[in-house]
Amino acid sequence: MSVLFLKVFAQNYRTVSEIPYYDDISLRNSDVYIKERCVLDIYYPKDKRKYYTVIWLHGGGLTYGQKEIPDSLKNKGIAVVAVNYRLSPRAVAPAYLNDVAAASAWVFKNIAKYGGDPTKIIIAGHSAGGYLATMIGLDPAYLKLYDIDPNSFAEIASFSGQIFTHYTIKQEKNIPTERLLVDEFSPIFWVKKNTPKLLFTTGGRIMDLEGRYAENVMMLSALKQAKNEKMKYFELEGFDHSNMPEPSYILLLEDIKKLEMSTANKSIDERK
């Protein structure tokens, strides 16, 4: 085991829970559901500075689920911010997208207070969380409200996220879920050349949910047509929708390690 990993595992960590991420106190007080759901938890290393932060978005089809700090991302020398967002049908699009944007803006503006680096923020999630992460990372409108360029993310990581319009949003619009829809609520609608790094994974094409493999392959093709070479896609054969996050965490942590090494090498070069 390397000295680097010995140091990482030796870190002390702290968790701060139930932090409201909307700055507007009057908004929180006037909307009971915002007050209830629009909170986040932050898990961070106490004795390290300038670390990477993963904004983690839970799955659940946009209709259920709770924020969590994935065990596989704990004790890795990074911070994890777990976000709750409003859910359908009590809220409808774009409410949950607005929530994730507000939470992301909170992280950009506040992570330095906990020792993190606002230039080292990754947005990630599983299933509906992967869909939300990709939408916020590609559609500039949501973060524009906070004067933040989504290209400020170091990476977008989607674990089996939908690429076309999410089926829950189609239900909200009374559109049959089996009908393919690409509109402003589709990550593929926002394909362009200049994006953050992209890490997309799915389970096996037969074992994962219907369409997830095909949609992600189409996303890869669309990005290549846009001359964007920043997406890495992995089909994780032998894994279904529920257990595919585990190997995906490994891929994400490998990316963070590469980003850290690249940053360290750049610092060395600048000092020469």
pLDDT, tens digit, for every residue of 132-141?
Answer: 999 999 999 9
Q: What is the mean pLDDT of residues 197-216?
A: 98
d(CA 127, CA 115): 30
Domain 3-271's class?
alpha beta
- Of the chain, the percentage scoring pLDDT greater than 90 comes to 89
Per-residue pLDDT tens over the stretch 219-270: 999 999 999 999 999 999 999 999 999 999 999 999 999 999 987 776 555 5
> How many Cβ atoms are within 10 Å of 71's Cβ, its own excluded?
9
- Given this model, what pLDDT does residue 269 score? 54
Whether residue 64 has pLDDT greater than 90? yes
Tell me how many helices (H) and strands (E) the chain has: 9, 8
Q: Is the pLDDT of residue 184 over 90?
A: yes
**In this predicted structure, what is the pLDDT of residue 1?**
36
pLDDT over 60 at 113, yes or no: yes
Q: Does residue 7 have a pLDDT over 50?
A: no
Contacts of 199 (CB under 8 A, 6+ apart): 124, 155, 156, 157, 158, 231, 232, 251, 252, 255
Distance CA 97, CA 132 (A): 6
Residue 222 is given by DSSP the state: H
pLDDT in tens, 134-170: 999 999 999 999 999 999 999 999 999 999 999 999 9
User: Is the pLDDT confidence value at 203 over 90?
Assistant: yes
